[in-house]
Amino acid sequence: MLHDLTALEQGDAVRRGEVSPLELVEHYAGRAGSIEVGAFITPTHELAREHARRLTTQLAEEGRPPDAGPLWGVPTGIKDLHPTAGVRTTFGSAAYDDFVPDASDDLVLTVEAAGMPSLGKTNTPEFGSPCYTEPDVAPPAVTPWDTSRTAGGSSGGAAAAVAAGLLPVAPGSDGGGSIRIPASCCGLVGLKPSRGRISGAPRYGDPVGLATAGTLARTVRDAAALLDVLAGRRVGDPYWAPEPSGTFLEACDRAPGRLRVARFIAPVIADVDVHPASVAAWDDASRLLESLGHDVEDVPVPIPRDAVADFETCWAVLTALSPAPPGREDRLRPLTRWLGGLGHAVSGPDFGLAIGRLRQHAAAALAALASYDVVLTPTLASPPVQVGALRDDADPARDFADQKAFTPWTSAWNVTGMPAVSLPLHWTDDGLPVGVMLAARPAEEELLLSVAAQVETAAPWADRRPPGW
């Protein structure tokens, strides 16, 4: 079946004339009801068909464009945080359940220009804030490995779609783990690139610099190929990563050499007992890296616990920067109203001081880790939890605390701006995926992808299929 192929294999089949972009779109549109995982808020099958027809006609009459990348003609989806012209864009919120933008943001335009038809707006929680995907505008996003359990968040719909074979590859976004969390829950590769690697144009909605777009895929090479599509600087960007030496896909074929690997397992942002499966995944990954010739060393947690308060101040203010349209405030989720209220209570000077302290914490962490090539931690404190286990509308403070306990490592690398990837190296005895996380120095995605690809070759996972595949 076409969905058994990796995204790169599908793109290569298009290049060779074995399948057309329209046939790929029709295949995935036909699979849309094959398994219910809460992947999409708004399907856009007809728009995808129109785009794919244009590509198919172009292929027949002119051939592939000379600048076409390896994913040209491969379908994808767009997270519903990205405004898309003429398509309902809810931001995961009932307050925007009928909003249709006039213009698309740069990520949408970039994906379209790369020849990747979008089959729909993928599911996300309200304004992308929680680490679970249970919005009021769509059913919960669930992992196809056990549909009673969360797909994670906030890129839960994108991860559920890729893991269930409803999309070959998909972009996500990550401000505190929102790509890597669902990657772990869904058994995928989830790559958060360095700060500035992917432009935030034209909205530049995160003045703190925590959030970035990134990629969700079944293989490291697919994730790298989509990063090649998304990466790039725009005029007006407040910061940017230096140009890579080649493509990120090419980096997957380079041997990383012998690396110094720092590892720690103590939770960064919460006092929580780490699940034995997460410990086992981390230990197994350590041994695998050592077997590949790398030096693995235990290190202290590089970010102090007092950084958590500064992160929470910034997170609350960022939530307050996403208001409901006038008269629709009552449609916001209790968690959003609670966090937004905390954000509105922060003064301008206090916000500035919190940003400054976060940057000081980041600088200290980068200095402490400077002699290491990569850092290894678990991705999550446990396998994916039951839908509703984290959400608590009656007590948003408990909801937020439980989210931190589930995700005690991911946000550290948003603070430092380091690239980080979750790899699906472990499964529980009852078939639940458990990710491990590798991070590299800022702007060193090429090294990170090189070692991730080496790990994947040594312990491949792409042939694993969830129920309903």
Active site residues: 79, 154, 178
| Contact predicate 227/421, CB 8 Å | no
| Contact predicate 164/117, CB 8 Å | no
My answer on whether omega of the bond before 154 falls inside 30° of 0, hence cis, is yes
Sheet containing strand 433-440, edge to edge, reads 169-174, 212-217, 189-192, 420-427, 433-440, 374-378, 260-263, 295-298
- Rounded Cα–Cα distance for residues 91 and 95 (Å): 9
Q: Is 121 exposed, middle or buried (0-12, 13-18, 19+ CB in 10 A)?
A: buried
| Contact predicate 398/286, CB 8 Å | no
In the chain the first and final C-alpha atoms are separated, in Å, by 10
Kindly report the length of the chain. 469
- Rounded Cα–Cα distance for residues 424 and 447 (Å): 19
Within 8 A by CB and 6+ apart from 345, the residues are none
- Rounded Cα–Cα distance for residues 457 and 435 (Å): 16
